[in-house]
Structure 1
């Protein structure tokens, strides 16, 4: 599989450059860009897997989520530049839904087929559950309710205030997990088995270099990808909402998708869950707020106000994930439940 992705990178990236210079059809370029980004994401996943072996599951999961979300952040910034506020908000929604339902669902399902019962750190699961409820329900739903009684200017000021608070709390959460309480809630070796020493595929230096180069390539391709949305939407009959929630979210989060599933198949559920849930928290508490602040640099500012379908689906995904993961265990049926919820929501957004 790695060889296939390598071939796709060496073919897809040059074709992306040539096609953008020669102005090939938007539909063809959309396909080429998506394939190239997904192939590049596989390299990002492999490099972060190596780093997770070197640095540990928490830092590895954080790195994977950060570089995976860097793809989506880059796409969103170029979309903001083009004034596509609806696409950006929809892509944030899609990222939350994709990580909690699709990524976690596939991880639980595929891992559960291979292993009847998989476990992960229950303390991390409960800590993340509280943050998920705060980030999505408190920070996303409340602005929607208050904005009904505010004008655009006050709504924007409110969004800026919430964004600053969210970013501050996210940094505090990282400090809590990685500094003040690092190792306090580590899961003991329940079976008394010795840990198998793993050898990373790449060295620390090579992993960081691959991450940096892949991110740069994704940044270039993402800028061009944004310009194809309007034409592709007309060709396939996709709404702006569907493109943001499903297409941009899947392409933008391809790195997390691949890495989390690989980790689950290797029975490394701590990393798989950290990628899926950690990425969601990063989107809700850091990526979304920073996009609100960056939007102030462009002609059209983006308030942190989602549509009712977006809010209801995100809240539903959070509650479902919290209930399923709060016991610190997973199986294939729980994964299937998460996937079923994602497909139902996907059909709804397609028909909306």
Structure 2
């Protein structure tokens, strides 16, 4: 417990944990104010995600950067998965799809870009294992193709007549295929060819990770609390978005992605500042490929159990284009295995183009977004 108290004292972001009981109290006494609940739930989720990050770093310290990056990405995505499942149960399919697309783009663009920038401000040039980035980018490209096919065929006249049965069946088949592809990718990078994905950079030997028991207990408790706060977040998101002049698509693509990804962002940015760019890239691209090849397919399959109606992999064309551009951009900037602060600026600029466009030209409130 002393480790947690020390972390709270030394990390101003964790002071926001005070909003966790506040949001539950507000739900009970001020449930008629969606905007207030929305803001409070965001302020509560961010420090909870940071707690997940600290606990995960302690576990990752015993596994190395490759496995640690995967673990951090997985537990970071757990927040986004919980939020997406809550939205799925509520029938907020626009929010679900926007959050999935936004999480992919955010992890593929915003997190690496900010990591390059923050690390580059401290180190003149940083190096990382480009083989890891190449494999993750290849997995992202596979996922992009799987998203493009149902999204494009959904608008073909001959297919539209058979929709939604055709789209639903295709989405289930592609979901199973993507999950298999993701599992084989893990086998390749962590099993049969793990020697090609060794970490570089400097490691801080003075770091004092939490005891493994404390770290695992923190992960369990915080995950449960995140699930409860996520229910409040999703329930208030639609009304709050309308009040603030934002569409559900913008909330899902930008707000949910940034809030839900706070855990991996905190770890990735800290890793970049410590010249552990392999860890940062493993977290960022690992999270992006995991969402595209695992989280999205799992949501499709879960929708047959927990959703009002099944959801499919048919996204609006703009989302597919953004995912494709993000994949191509990160592939381009990671080919050399070297980075500097200006590379981060360029990547962030591309992400901001997407965010500004969605804010000014929000998708319509339909199941799949704008045409």
Specify the alignment match of 1:274 in structure 2.
282
Pick one of 15, 20, 23 that aligns with 1:16. Answer: 23
CA distance in 2, matches of 1:73, 1:58: 22
1:234-313 superposed matches below 5 A: 234-297=242-305, 298-313=307-322
Are 1:108 and 2:120 counterparts?
no
1:100-249 superposed matches below 5 A: 100-136=108-144, 138-149=145-156, 150=159, 151-186=163-198, 197-249=205-257
Residue 196 of structure 1 and its aligned partner are, at CA, apart by: 5.6
Q: For 1:132, what is the secondary structure of its paired residue?
A: helix
Q: For 1:183, what is the secondary structure of its paired residue?
A: helix
Specify the alignment match of 1:333 in structure 2.
342
1:223-278 deviation line (CA, Å, top 9, x unaligned) = 11101012111211111111110111111111111111111001000000000000
1:270-322 deviation line (CA, Å, top 9, x unaligned) = 00000000000000000000000011122221110110111111111111110
Residue 187 of structure 1 and its aligned partner are, at CA, apart by: 5.5
Contact 2:131 2:196 in 1 (8 A): no
CA distance in 2, matches of 1:241, 1:44: 26
CA distance in 2, matches of 1:2, 1:32: 23
CA distance in 2, matches of 1:226, 1:145: 29
Contact 2:152 2:317 in 1 (8 A): no
Specify the alignment match of 2:354 in structure 1.
345
Pick one of 53, 57, 68 that aligns with 1:45. Answer: 53
Residue 114 of structure 1 and its aligned partner are, at CA, apart by: 0.5
Runs of 4+, deviation exceeding 3 Å: 195-200
Q: For 1:305, what is the secondary structure of its paired residue?
A: coil
CA distance in 2, matches of 1:256, 1:205: 21
1:274–1:16: structure 2 CA closer, same or farther, 3 Å change rule? same
Q: What are the ranges of 5 or more consecutive residues in structure 2 without an aligned counterpart?
A: 1-8, 362-371
1:167-187 deviation line (CA, Å, top 9, x unaligned) = 011111112211222224425
Q: Which has the higher contact order (CA 8 A, sep 6+)?
A: 1
Q: For 2:214, what is the secondary structure of its paired residue?
A: helix
Number of paired residues? 346
Q: What are the ranges of 5 or more consecutive residues in structure 1 without an aligned counterpart?
A: none
CA distance in 2, matches of 1:109, 1:199: 23
Contact 1:96 1:314 in 2 (8 A): yes
CA distance in 2, matches of 1:326, 1:90: 29
CA distance in 2, matches of 1:26, 1:281: 33
Q: For 2:348, what is the secondary structure of its paired residue?
A: helix
Contact 1:69 1:253 in 2 (8 A): yes
Residue 13 of structure 1 and its aligned partner are, at CA, apart by: 1.2
Residue 188 of structure 1 and its aligned partner are, at CA, apart by: 6.8
Deviates more, 1:298-307 or 1:152-161: 298-307
